[in-house]
Structure 1
Amino acid sequence: MPRQAKAPPTQPFGADAFAPSGDTTLRWLGMAGFLINSHGTTMMIDPLLRGFDMPIMIEMPVAADDVPHLDAVLVTHSDNDHYSVPTCQDLADVTDAYHSTRYVATLMTDQGLPAHGHDIGDHFTVGAVRVQVTPADHAWQNDSSGASTRIFQPEDACGFWITTPDGTIWAPGDSRLIPEHHLRMPAPDALLFDFSDSEWHFGLAGAAQMANAYPSTPLLLHHWGSVDAPDFPPFNGDPQSLLGLVENPERINVLAPGQPYRLQRSPSAG
């Protein structure tokens, strides 16, 4: 059986992670999720804290019941490892707003969530943070017989370019490589980095190409080490596979779920 890489042991956190602060801190939630606290503005990207339909190998670093408040939840697309309906419902009482594409926002509204739908290229603000909606190519359902009766559109999935007082964070979402977009952005100060051999993700070669387009940007690995799925490429990425592919490999950050990462503006990033 293929080797399944597993994330480091979880570092649980509580209410202190949501408190006002003098900087911007990211915490990987496991799966594809992140918590961002920027000077007290708090948001989660693609949180999945319970209710997934495949075996999970990690302990989640926080339970929804222990989240005191979120200014926003950002969701990149409708797959259930990104738009976790149970998690979003669990967080509804403490979350001011949910942001996603127009399609995903309709799903959220149907669930009674205070959702805002956006077009690709739109901007919105969350407290001290400015967010731009970026393109993604992840309409895998159209290539998979029986996956959906709906025809998915390019604008149904997205990424987020997040500008904080301490620098920029790029969460490109699940996507095939779009060279004219993914290789031509300003260098972010942190890249939430999805890497695997999945054909409906960047692919390992595409992920390396993207990383090397921004050779000084720290790479915060995610979408790996959380699901017991050694034969399923979207979840079975191994950080060891990046060695020899990524320039300046010391910038590869193999975070434990819950481990804090302090954002710092890079002199060469913009």
Structure 2
Amino acid sequence: MTASPAAVSRSSRGQAMAPPTVPIPASAFEPTDGTVLRWLGMAGFLINARGTLLAVDPLLEGFDMPVLIDFPIEAADIPRLDAVLVSHSDNDHYSVPTCTALAPVTRRFHSTRYVGELMTEAGMPAEGHDIGDVIDIGDVRITVTPADHSWQNAFPEPGQRVFRDEDCCGFRIDTPDGTIWAPGDSRLIRDHHLTMPSPDALLFDFSDSEWHFGFDGAVEMANAYPDADLLLHHWGSVDSPDFAPFNADPDTLWAVVANPQRIHVLAPGEPFRLGG
């Protein structure tokens, strides 16, 4: 739904919360006459593009922080996926428990070279990619896009690998019904994030975190594509009022985003049809 600021509820500690969950039915996995997205909560999405089924950064179980939402489906209830796309190795994006549970019903996992190696070592049918690679799945074409999210290097631990920019990515997903851009967690890369051909829908991370776009950077990105639908995510799911990456507030967007009617405060599991 396209909500108004008054529609956003708050936790007892004042944190903006996602609307009540809409369970995902079995029919969501059947062929469709268009492309339908469903927010899974956290940073995850389920995409059904005329019967081609993709999950982006799914996290449905086993997270290590308290959550504010009911997940809209259990991993065990997902009947099939043509692909799972994982943007980077943080456990709210590469959920090992979720991906392990999805492996028997997933044709292929796709991520960066680094995460692809982790998945292969865990026994998942995985493929790692370079930035710029193109993946064709049925009538869907996916381009791996750059991201800047190597936060681990700022907090080195003994024996830790040096993380590279190419260990993180986004995904530009071209469907028969339009383009979805999932840029992943990233700091703003001005000559990339502000200069792409406009997507029809932007999976929109607007948290005020120094290792993400930051609020001002997210708004600048949104306004660089004034006709793209903004599907809010990475907010309202984790009980973390003092942790910026998870505590974004949709109320802060209405006055600063061009064409604010394109802001979509979806409930977990609620269907969104690409192109209206």
Do they superpose with TM above 0.5?
A: yes
Q: Identity over aligned residues, as a percent? A: 66
Q: Does 1:183 align with 2:209?
A: no
CA deviation after TM superposition for structure 1 residue 2, in Å: 6.1
Letter in 2 for 1:59: D
| Structure 1: runs of 5 or more not aligned | 266-270
Matched, 1:90 2:101: yes
Matched to 1:125, the amino acid is D
Distance of aligned partners of 1:180 and 1:2 in 2 relative to their CA distance in 1, 3 Å threshold: farther
Q: 3-state SS of the aligned residue for 2:246?
A: coil
Q: Hey, what does 2:72 align to over in structure 1?
A: 61
Report the counterpart of residue 268 of structure 1 in structure 2. none
Please identify, of 201-210 and 244-253, the stretch whose mean Cα deviation from structure 2 is larger. 244-253
Deviations 1:218-240 (A, max 9, x none): 10000000000000000000000
Counterpart residue number, 1:215 = 226
- AA in 1 matched with 2:170: G
Which residue of structure 1 aligns with residue 9 of structure 2? none
* Corresponding position of 1:256: 267
- Counterparts in 2 of 1:147 and 1:76: CA distance versus 1, 3 Å: farther
State the 1:15 CA deviation: 1.5
Match of 1:43? Answer: 54
Match of 1:14 in 2: 25
1:124 maps to which of 135, 149, 159: 135
Report deviation, 1:244.
1.5
Residue deviations 1:246-265, cap 9 Å, x none? 11111100000000000018
- 2-side partners of 1:118 and 1:148: how far apart? 25
Instruction: Give me the whole-angstrom Cα distance separating, in 1, the residues matched to 2:91 and 2:158.
Output: 13
The CA deviation at 1:3 is 2.3
Q: Which residue of 1 aligns with 2:42?
A: 31
Which residue among 150, 155, 164 is the counterpart of 1:144?
A: 155
Contact 1:50–1:86 under 8 Å retained in 2: yes
Q: Distance in 2 between matches of 1:159 and 1:60?
A: 23
Contact 1:14–1:66, Cα closer than 8 Å, also in 2: no
Q: Which stretches in structure 2 are left out of the alignment for 5+ residues?
A: 1-11
Tell me the secondary structure at the aligned position of residue 205 of structure 1. helix
TM-score, normalising length from structure 2?
0.94
* Aligned-pair Cα RMSD in Å: 1.2
Q: TM-score, normalised by structure 1?
A: 0.96
Task: Count residues in correspondence.
Answer: 265
Report the AA paired with residue 122 of structure 1.
D
Aligned counterparts of 2:242 and 2:128: Cα–Cα separation in 1: 35
Taking the aligned partners of 1:239 and 1:147, their CA distance within structure 2 comes to 39
Question: Deviation string for 1:127-172 (max 9, x for gaps)?
Answer: 1100000000000000124397110000000000000000000000
Cross-structure match for 2:113? 102
For the structure 1 residues 148 and 139, does the alpha-carbon distance in structure 2 shift closer, same or farther, using more than 3 Å as the test? Answer: farther
